[in-house]
């Protein structure tokens, strides 16, 4: 795996390329790459362009995938009116992306469009879910859960009702 050429002798390296896809990942920069140590999940990124009652969703596969499927559904009152399974049993190369449209009826106030992606990546079945907020929350939705209190240090506390005996 030597990819180094010392001094001026250029040596073309032999990389263990896993799977080339026709579409490359979007360029990033070191300064834009925010370090976050997230949980393991399917190596995909999901983006959506939201419109009135519709979204254009793009799923980009950062690793090659087989038996990939996409499920879309609504949360907090949002109802998907188009195919809830836009993709099933598909195969993608690393860097490939798929774009599809989703039609929905938004819920009252703020609701969410959820996009679940699952597939086999490098021999392992993995999944991930992305969600996209639609609309603005109602006053009821903004109402905090529980009862407000403070602890002995003056820090705010949110008290949920307990079962007792």
Site for another protein in 6-65 (CB under 8 A): 6-13, 15-18, 20-21, 24-31, 33-43, 45, 62-64
Q: Is 106 helix (H, G, I), strand (E, B) or coil?
A: coil
From 89, 139, 140, 165, residue interacting with another protein (rule: CB under 8 A): 165
- Restricted to residues 105-134, the positions that interact with another protein (CB under 8 A) are 112, 114, 116-118, 121-133
Q: Is residue 159 within the footprint of another protein (CB under 8 A)?
A: yes
CA dihedral of 25, 29, 31, 32, whole degrees rounded to 10? -30
Taking Cα atoms as reference points, which of 120, 115, 117, 71 lies closest to residue 91? 120
Taking Cα atoms as reference points, which of 133, 135, 112, 128 lies closest to residue 59? 128
From 51, 53, 138, 158, residue interacting with another protein (rule: CB under 8 A): 158
Total binding residues toward another protein, as defined by CB under 8 A? 89
Q: Is residue 5 within the footprint of another protein (CB under 8 A)?
A: yes
Contact track, another protein, 72-111, x by CB under 8 A: -xxxx-------xx--------xx----------------
Separation in Å, CA 68 to CA 12, 65, 97, 114, 119: 35, 6, 12, 17, 4
Strand partners, 47: 58
């Amino acid at each position: 795996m030597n990819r180094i050429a010392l001094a001026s002798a250029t040596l073309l390296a032999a990389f263990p390329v896993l799977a080339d896809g026709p579409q490359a990942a979007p360029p990033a920069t070191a300064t834009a790459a925010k370090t976050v140590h997230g949980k393991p999940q399917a190596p995909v990124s999901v983006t959506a362009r939201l419109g009135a009652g519709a979204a254009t969703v793009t799923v980009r596969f950062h690793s090659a995938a087989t038996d990939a499927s996409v499920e879309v559904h609504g949360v907090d009152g949002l109802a998907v009116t188009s195919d809830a399974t836009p993709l099933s049993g598909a195969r993608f190369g690393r860097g490939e992306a798929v774009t599809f449209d989703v039609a929905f009826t938004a819920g009252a106030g703020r609701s969410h469009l959820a996009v679940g992606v699952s597939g086999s990546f490098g021999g392992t079945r993995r999944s991930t879910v992305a969600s996209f907020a639609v609309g603005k929350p109602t006053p009821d939705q903004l109402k905090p859960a529980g009862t407000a209190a403070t602890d002995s240090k003056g820090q705010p506390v949110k008290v949920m009702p307990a079962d007792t005996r």
